[in-house]
């Protein structure tokens, strides 16, 4: 009932109402979006980021409010899933229906909005037509759980704070903690162990002794872990797959806006990087998602933000290994919102997602 009332107010409100609706929806959903600046001695940026994000969504909702016809508003809200301000796609309106009786596909969400528009526009008993559209948006079948991998997979759960993660003084302890996770998984007879994004907070391919150690251990268990990868002058956020003594590397495809790349014209990006990131360059990306075969099963690789992007679900992969480092944004609702998005894409593409996260979010979604 709440979701029906909410969209009724949005489809029937004036421009001012829609502006403030967009503003406060963005505030409640995305107040955490600038939290990473805490770790760059730039906490003053956080309220600025919050205000700008709220303003952008307020203006987008206001523009919808310009059109008084509810049927036009239906089309515009449907289009929200295709509009990503500054390449950020975490506002998906139909996400609000994930735990309801209604479906989350585009056509079901469209029928849901259409039913409300019909109720607003039609007079007298003709409003009953709206009920037909509403019934069409209901998800009548209970989704069956997807079949899991035949492999016994260990997803590590860590709580490493971001303010120490990259400290040189923590490096040896961090490496040992990761090795202990691998030893534990071997002892418990797992076939695959997954450690989170940037679990090894270093350029792993520049650490030959550690690489050889992991290759050796991979003869007992497949090791999947996050770390940086460097190639000449280019840096990547990557996943390392150690399988039977060999290693393959899957580089990230879609970067986090303002975290790994500046989604602004290049000359502005250079200024932002100089001010806030000590002149660091944006990470580089792979051209396409990486699929890795592990003893007969294919897994799609995804790192953090890109696990919630449509591009990573091309051809509906059966299994996905996703890893995150949520320490950038905790404490906040970010891990909860991330999990909802993963559930949304899992249901939409029939993909089992093995999500391993530092500081909240480790789970299997199926």
- Active-site residue set: 197, 252, 304
- Neighbouring-strand partners of residue 292: 299
Q: Sign of dihedral through CA atoms 176, 179, 181, 186? A: negative
What is the spatial order of strands in the sheet that 291-294 belongs to? 291-294, 297-303, 319-325, 352-358, 363-365
Rg (CA), the chain: 23
Cα 145–359–329 angle (5° rounding)? 110
| CA 83 – CA 313 distance, rounded (Å) | 18
Compute the distance between CA of residue 342 and CA of residue 305 in angstroms, rounded to an integer.
Answer: 10
- The conformational region for residue 354 under phi > 0 = left, psi -120 to 50 = alpha, else beta, is beta
Total number of residues shown for the chain: 366
Handedness of CA 265, 267, 273, 279 (dihedral sign): positive
Q: Tokens 């990259």 label which residue?
A: 166
Residue with tokens 């109402």: 17
Specify which residues 325 forms β-bridges with.
358
Query: Among all chains, which residue has been given the structure tokens 């559930």?
Result: 343
Query: What are the two backbone dihedrals, phi and then psi, of residue 89, each rounded to the nearest 5 degrees?
Result: -110, 20
Q: Which two tokens stand for residue 122?
A: 């039609």
């Amino acid at each position: 009932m709440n979701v029906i009332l909410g969209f009724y107010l949005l489809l029937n409100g004036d421009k001012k109402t829609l502006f403030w609706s967009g503003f406060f929806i963005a505030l409640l959903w995305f107040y955490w979006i600038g939290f990473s600046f805490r770790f760059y001695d730039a906490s003053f940026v956080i309220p600025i980021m919050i205000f700008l994000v709220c303003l952008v969504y307020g203006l987008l909702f206001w523009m919808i409010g310009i059109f008084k016809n509810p049927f036009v508003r239906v089309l515009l809200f449907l289009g929200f899933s295709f509009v990503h301000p500054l390449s950020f796609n975490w506002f998906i309106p139909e996400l609000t229906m994930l735990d309801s009786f209604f479906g989350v596909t585009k056509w079901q969400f469209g029928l849901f909005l259409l039913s409300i528009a019909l109720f607003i526009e039609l007079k007298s008993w003709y409003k009953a037509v709206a009920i037909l559209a509403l019934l069409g948006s209901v998800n009548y079948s209970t989704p069956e759980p997807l079949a899991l991998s035949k492999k016994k997979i260990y997803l590590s759960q860590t709580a490493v704070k971001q303010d120490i993660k990259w400290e040189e003084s923590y490096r040896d302890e961090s490496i040992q903690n990761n090795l202990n996770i691998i030893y534990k998984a071997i002892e418990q007879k797992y076939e695959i162990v997954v450690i989170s994004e940037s679990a090894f907070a270093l350029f792993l391919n520049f650490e030959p002794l550690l690489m050889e150690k992991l290759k050796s251990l991979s003869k007992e268990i497949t090791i999947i872990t996050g770390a940086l990868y460097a190639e000449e002058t280019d840096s990547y956020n990557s996943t390392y797959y150690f399988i039977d003594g060999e290693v393959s590397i899957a580089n990230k495809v879609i970067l986090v806006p303002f975290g790994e790349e500046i989604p602004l014209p290049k000359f502005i990006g250079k200024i932002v990087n100089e001010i806030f990131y000590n002149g660091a360059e944006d990470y580089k990306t792979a051209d396409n998602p990486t699929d890795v075969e592990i003893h007969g099963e294919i897994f799609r690789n995804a790192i953090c933000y890109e696990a919630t992007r449509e591009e990573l679900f091309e051809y509906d992969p059966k299994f996905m290994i996703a890893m995150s480092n949520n320490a950038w944004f905790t404490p906040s609702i970010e891990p909860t919102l991330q999990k909802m998005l993963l559930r949304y894409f899992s249901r939409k593409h029939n993909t089992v997602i093995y999500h391993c996260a530092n500081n909240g979010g480790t789970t299997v979604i199926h």
